[in-house]
A and B are shown apart, each in its own frame.
Chain A
Amino acid sequence: MIEVKNVDKSFEGNRVLKNVSAIFETGKTNMIIGQSGSGKTVLMKSIIGLHRIDKGRIEYDGRNLPDMKMSNIRILRREVGMLFQGSALFDSMSVLENVMYPLEMFSPSTKEEMIERAYFCLKHVNLEEKAFDLAPSEISGGMQKRVAIARAIALQPKYLFCDEPNSGLDPKTSLVIDQLIHEITHTFGITTIINSHDMNSVMEIGENIIFIENGENAWQGNKDDIFHVHNEALNNFVFASELYKQVKQANQ
């Protein structure tokens, strides 16, 4: 579980996160949603430690990240997997080498065990074996996302972060990626945090949703609660499209 308590973060006097508190539960797909510029990316980067917060606590199962030395943060990060918006695969390496990389860097396993683990991860994300030796630039965006997920779970992380996992993908592939993240979260008991403004994802896999508005935690609930909320900002954000307005009416 990751617990965020009273977190504040400013950039050059501009207060981006205002006393944010939230709980991200283990074995659930926790989603941070909000409009562009609301502070959700800053919140996620603060939780990972890419931004140093001004005030508050970020506890990874009781371990407070802001109190840690860099060397301890590096050790903690070995328990973290991350899926980046643009996949962030290493373009000088093949698909298999990308997944092998964290294993070679940190795992005490033998070469054979590492290859076995990489194959397991790549097959778990339904990637065909013929793609293993290709460069990331030679595979589609959806496949790149799957490779990035395989790399993120290679070291069996306790925490998985996904930054806009569906960005640039067609609806069908987006659904596949959402279901994959959801399945991995439940199968391996990971604390997953997804930063998204894709309402399809929210409705599909949003088990614990945090709505950020103007740097504040404006609402927290799940995908079923979201239809019965009287928060105007949340309603304007979630039910902005005609389709979702109709879905809401049908649910009420």
Chain B
Amino acid sequence: MAYNLKEELSKPERFAPGHRLCSGCGAGILCRAMTRAIDEGDKAVITNATGCLEVSSFLYPYTAWEDSYIHAAFENASATASGVEAAYKVMKKKGKIDDTYKFLVIGGDGGTYDIGFQSLSGAMERGTDMVYFCYDNEAYMNTGIQRSSSTPRFANATTTPVGSVSNGKEQNKKNLTEIMVAHGIPYVAQTTYVGNMKDLHEKAHKAIYTQGPAFVNVMSPCPRGWQYPSQLLPEICKMAVETCVWPMYEVVEGEYHLTYEPKKKLPVEEFMKLQGRFKHCFKSGNEYTIEEAQKYVDKKWEALLAKCK
């Protein structure tokens, strides 16, 4: 059946309003989209790493989650989900439950690329039947915009501040999507919030209904950390894709597919200029930062295209 956003939005919400996420934050969009991708009638358990989303969506005694939800700690969402999934298997085996459950895990880049990386890797290697959604906002936003291994080079973060002898973070962003592909799991995808959310919806649905572990990396802008007016979120996501900073692709059983190819690849500054975290890159004398950023994006994009051919 063809994707229809209006129809999708008419489904009962599984991530309810009343949560305390900032306006213009990507995480809430992902929560709604990923739970919309669960077929009606199927149940789910959401496991969440500590972070903005957790403290904003489940403040005792209120929860925004219509499905069962568990938060344990920062670094262990995947291991916690492993336990839930193991419980499901044994309860099914013993005939204690009839319902079909799907196991969705969600964490920010801190809980995914960094502190939760081992736990994620372990759960993927064990073949846990779960989908890990990373809302990648490229820094530790909950604690106040400290750099993570996902923060791109030259971004101004509170532990890589711009100063008289610094132009922000020195290292390039870790490529977690490729690391997940290297785990040999059946489904890995990258997406973000563009257009009518078709790409995100289809990848989320495919991931959820793939037997075994799946990983979906979702570029998820943060208005506080990236320093943009909240209404600019769709534009930033669009530019991330059009500049090839964040290519949209999926890897199914090891096979690469580009799910969107820009007609004309835009220069990286079209993405950077929308965000205060790159403001210093546009100062006279700092031209090299944009050149370096462009070189890096080009290299990565070419490498990805080669894999998709």
A and B interact: no
Which A residues form the contact surface with B (CB < 8 A)? none
